[in-house]
Amino acid sequence: GQQVMQIPQYQHVQEGEDFTTYCNSSTTLSNIQWYKQRPGGHPVFLIQLVKSGEVKKQKRLTFQFGEAKKNSSLHITATQTTDVGTYFCAGGASGTYKYIFGTGTRLKVLA
């Protein structure tokens, strides 16, 4: 079955440093979503990418969808303590509205 992996599993950065998490699917995706989950909270939608090679920006966050639509990345520039949490990608397969979540990357930002 479809699997979605993320690396790294954990990342500790100093405030102000950049952060990147990578998402890889075992199958070609129709679209990918990114979510952030704060400790003790529920996942909150960040963005959705649909097109091959698509790049979207939200302030300090940059999201990319690979050309083959099997991988994606999230890059945060100049991290802040408010960026702390776990970032998940969720891959949507063609012909279904089922989403498979990645393993997540837990980000800690040291002030």
Partner 1 sequence: DTGVSQDPRHKITKRGQNVTFRCDPISEHNRLYWYRQTLGQGPEFLTYFQNEAQLEKSRLLSDRFSAERPKGSFSTLEIQRTEQGDSAMYLCASSLARQGGEQYFGPGTRLTVT
- Pick from 61, 103, 98: nearest CA to 86: 103
By beta-carbon proximity to partner 1, the closer residue of 30 and 80 is 30
Interface with partner 1 in residues 84-103 (CB under 8 A): 88, 90, 92, 96-103
* Residues in binding contact with partner 1, number by CB under 8 A: 24
Interface with partner 1 in residues 24-53 (CB under 8 A): 30-31, 33, 35, 42-45, 48, 50
Q: Is 49 helix (H, G, I), strand (E, B) or coil?
A: strand
By beta-carbon proximity to partner 1, the closer residue of 17 and 56 is 56
Block residue for tokens 């990114």: 34
Q: What is the DSSP string of 68-84?
A: TSSEEEEEESS--GGG-
